[in-house]
Amino acid sequence: MRKPVIAGNWKLYKTKEEALALIAELAPLVAGVSGVEIVVAPVFTVLPTLPAALSGTGIALAGQDVFWEEEGAFTGEVSPRMLLDAGASHVIIGHSERREYFGETDATVNQKIKAALLGALVPIFCIGETLAAREAGETFSVLERQLTMGLAGIDAAQLAPVIVAYEPVWAIGTGKTASDQQAQEAHAFIRGVVAKLYEQAVADKVRVLYGGSVKPENVKGLMSCPDIDGALVGGASLKGASFAAIVRFQE
């Protein structure tokens, strides 16, 4: 059985004070939820503020990006060890916004995933096609390329902790969610690629999250799809009530 993961990507929102207020609202609303892994990803500067507030809540912390070097002359970057030091256990890698605005490529995503794994962080590895790619009938070839290049040189044992997030770019922040059917089709395809790259038993275990305008209203339908193992939530993770309702999708 694959344990569901609900992860909140706060993007470029929330100061320390705002983050603490959100956790104070969220924590009681998700208290007692079992069988779901809950993760929140604030900006780097907020990370060290949260472990004390999260202690005992079962909510894990993630960085939104990571660099692959441990230290050195790399102005502006944060290493896996520094993320761990700040209290993170997970890290989002290859988010489409980083690919689109910050020059992230399949090759840099691959380096980051390897570094995160070496640094004992759980990578949340994001892939997804643009609207142009979908309309050109290239969805599957894009996903296969992103998976193959992103996971290059990572063996089956190393892959075990990796979480994949399928986020169709056209559904992010647009209010347009993929239909349950479109999402399930992509997720089944992704699992098939993992089976091809590794083996079926590995693919059966890897968790694949859906992301792109997930809300309390659509999470149940998405989570009822056999190959969807959780959600990566942007906008709806910025309010305690909506994120908690997503976390409690089973109720």
Catalytic residues: 95, 167
Q: Is 104 in the site for ligand PGA (CB under 6 A)?
A: no
Q: Which of 65, 167, 227, 229 binds ligand PGA (CB under 6 A)?
A: 167
Helix axes 16-30, 240-247, angle to 10 degrees: 40
Token readout for 53 is: 């507030």
The nearer residue to ligand PGA, 164 or 198, going by C-beta atoms, is: 164
Shortest Cβ contact with ligand PGA: which residue?
A: 234
| Size of the residue set binding ligand PGA (CB under 6 A) | 13
Shortest Å, Cβ 5 to ligand PGA: 13
6 binds ligand PGA (CB under 6 A): no
Least CB distance to ligand PGA at residue 110 (A): 20
214 lines the binding site for ligand PGA (CB under 6 A): yes
Examine residue 9 and tell whether it contacts ligand PGA (CB under 6 A). Answer: yes
Select the span of 83-91, 150-158, 186-194, 229-237 touching ligand PGA (CB under 6 A): 229-237
- Residue 11 vs 114, nearer CB to ligand PGA: 11
We find the least distance from the C-beta atom of residue 232 to ligand PGA, in angstroms, to be 4
| Residues whose CB is less than 8 angstroms from the CB of residue 38 and which lie 6 or more positions away in sequence, other chains included | 5, 6, 7, 30, 58, 59, 60, 247
Q: Examine residue 240 and tell whether it contacts ligand PGA (CB under 6 A).
A: no
Q: How far is the CB of 144 from ligand PGA (least distance, A)?
A: 21
Report if residue 213 touches ligand PGA, rule: CB under 6 A.
yes
CB of 213 to ligand PGA, least distance (A): 4
**Which positions lie near ligand PGA, rule CB under 6 A?**
9, 167, 172-173, 211-214, 232-236
